[in-house]
């Protein structure tokens, strides 16, 4: 453990810091820490494949305020497809892969749920 002196807004404080490996060796075995990290990691789901391509899901619940592509458009990974507003913030929904937009499943002004398919890219 190390002791540091810091100043915040002109007032001096003493702070004790432990290295993470010190805490791990004292508090729990490394295997338990690795298991905790695995449990805390968010589940990543791959886009689902439909008959003609892969679905692009909405990352959040909100309202579609912009559709930036149309059926037949070729898109690259990272291309903005939709703008979904949630809590007065506009969020870009980007293509997770390269392909061609084969179907748009929502209209401007539609309310969407988190993970609801917005488009299909083939």
Going by pLDDT thresholds of 50, 70 and 90, the confidence category of residue 12 is: confident
The predicted structure's pLDDT at residue 26: 55
Count up the domains in the chain and report the number: 2
**Domain assignment present for 69:** yes
Contacts of 7 (CB under 8 A, 6+ apart): 13
The pLDDT of 28-49, averaged and rounded, is: 52
Q: Is residue 45 part of a domain?
A: no
The verdict on 97 and 62 lying in the same domain is yes
**Do 63 and 114 reside in the same domain of the chain?**
yes
Question: 90 and 34, same structural domain?
Answer: no
DSSP state string for the chain: -EEEEEEETTEEEEEEE--HHHHHHHHS-HHHHHHHHHHHSPP--PPPB-SSSEEEE-SSSEEEEEE---TT-EE-TT-EEEEEEETTEEEEEE-SS-EEEEEE---TT-EE-TT-EEEEE-
Half-sphere exposure of 110 (CA within 13 A, CB side): 14
Residue 36: band (very low, low, confident or very high) from pLDDT cuts 50, 70, 90: low
Q: Which residues constitute the domain of residue 58?
A: 54-121
Q: What is the pLDDT of residue 41?
A: 46
Residue at 30 is within a domain: yes
For residue 83, the domain's CATH number is: 2.40.50.100
**pLDDT exceeding 70 applies to what percent of the chain?**
73
pLDDT digits over 65-88, tens only? 999 999 999 999 999 999 999 998
Instruction: State the pTM of this model.
Output: 0.58
């Amino acid at each position: 453990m190390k002791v540091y002196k810091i100043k915040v807004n002109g007032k001096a404080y003493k702070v004790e810091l432990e290295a993470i490996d010190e805490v791990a060796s004292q508090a729990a075995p490394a295997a338990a820490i690795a298991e905790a990290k695995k449990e805390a990691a968010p589940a990543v789901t791959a886009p689902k494949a439909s008959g003609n391509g892969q679905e692009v899901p909405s990352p959040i619940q909100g309202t579609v305020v912009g559709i930036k592509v149309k059926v037949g458009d070729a898109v690259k990974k990272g291309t903005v497809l939709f703008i979904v507003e949630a809590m007065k913030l506009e969020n870009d929904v980007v293509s997770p892969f390269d392909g061609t937009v084969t179907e748009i499943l929502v209209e401007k002004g539609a309310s969407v749920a988190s993970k609801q398919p917005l488009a299909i890219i083939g």
